[in-house]
Amino acid sequence: MPERTYALAALFGNPLPEMLHQTPHARVLGMTVVEMGPGLAIIKLPYRPEIVGDPVRGVVFGGAITALIDQASGLAVACALEELLAIATIDLRVDYLRAAEPGLDLFARSQCYRVTPRVAFVRAVAYERDPDDPFASCLGTFMLGANRSGTPFSRPAGTGGGGEK
């Protein structure tokens, strides 16, 4: 069986932190890529007062956490593909296990565990310090080839799709 190739393999182990800047909400929230590998992505969301949903406790707004998990999951799918395709979230079930600890940067670690010709499946956790102590967990499904005009991941990866940097 031939060795599997990955479209983003050149970035595995050496991701571009600014890779998410093509996605407006990820850029505004300050998300950065921490790690990438075959079917794997870890993304950081820095703690900032602007994303706090409960000012009394200093807890981050759930929508920002969902955006973090969704972004990490989409990137994990891109990291599982042999050819870059547009990716769209079909379903994202997020279970909040506890409140994230105030004042700490947040991380989402997502693993794409199955890819079919049209759908990819992911598992993810969100955590502050240790992925083995998550404050949220997630199961998601993503449509592949959802938008024929390309994918924002192709630009930072240098594979065309709308102008290389």
pLDDT score for 162: 39
| Short-list 66, 83, 81, CA closest to 124 | 66
Is the pLDDT confidence value at 148 over 90? no
Is the pLDDT confidence value at 159 over 60? no
pLDDT score for 109: 98
CATH number of 9-157: 3.10.129.10
Per-residue model confidence as pLDDT tens digits over 55-79: 999 999 999 999 999 999 999 999 9
Per-residue model confidence as pLDDT tens digits over 67-114: 999 999 999 999 999 999 999 999 999 999 999 999 999 999 999 999
pTM of the model: 0.87
Instruction: Enumerate the domain spans of the chain.
Output: 9-157
Residue 164's Cβ-side half-sphere holds a number of Cα atoms within 13 Å equal to 4
pLDDT score for 130: 97
For tokens 């969704």, the residue is: 70
pLDDT score for 158: 53
pLDDT score for 53: 93
Whether 51 contacts 64, CB under 8 Å: yes
